[in-house]
Homo-oligomer: A and B are copies of this chain.
Amino acid sequence: MRARDLLAVSPVVGLDSPVIDAARLLAEQDLPGLIVVAADGAPVAILPGTQVLRLAVPGYCQDDPALARVVDEAHADTLFDDLHGRTVREALPRQGRELPVTDPDATALELAALMARTRSPLVAIVEHGRLVGAVTLQALLDRMLGS
């Protein structure tokens, strides 16, 4: 079994895409993360869903989630309003992380090693410098467990 056998079409977002669009894609397509591409279409990062939240949450609540309780419920419900006008670039971790990327010939073991090492449930698959899709942890588990 090779990565090409588990390949799924993956929606991508650009570095300057609105982060609210990324949040919608994550929600609608039930994805563990999104592949972020540069202007030339090459993948540059994986945006995990939890990172989108970081932009929506005021800094003082991130340091101490208990402080979030003092914000009343009505305002707590509008936290996504703060995402408008923000870009995917702003949602990415400051420190660049290893990009989980491989080619369509990668074996199950290579995919598992990449996911384990980068703690990413999504691996970008690139062929001849072009993004051809993604393999998810879900797809890998399904195949390996024969379910």
Q: Which A residues lie at the B interface, using CB under 8 A?
A: 1-2, 23-24, 26-28, 30, 32, 48-54, 56-57, 61-63, 65-66, 68-69, 71, 73, 75-77, 79-80, 102, 106-110, 112-121, 137-138, 140-142, 144-145, 147
* This protein's copies in its complex: 2
Chain B residue, CB-CB nearest to A107: B76
In the complex where A48-B119, A50-B121 touch, is A144 in contact with B113 (Cβ < 8 A)?
Answer: no
Closest beta carbon of chain B to A83's beta carbon, Å: 9
Closest beta carbon of chain B to A120's beta carbon, Å: 7
Apart from A27-B138, A50-B137, A68-B109, 17 more pairs, CB < 8 Å: A1-B77, A2-B73, A24-B147, A26-B141, A48-B119, A49-B138, A50-B118, A51-B119, A54-B116, A61-B113, A62-B113, A65-B102, A65-B113, A65-B114, A68-B110, A71-B109, A79-B112
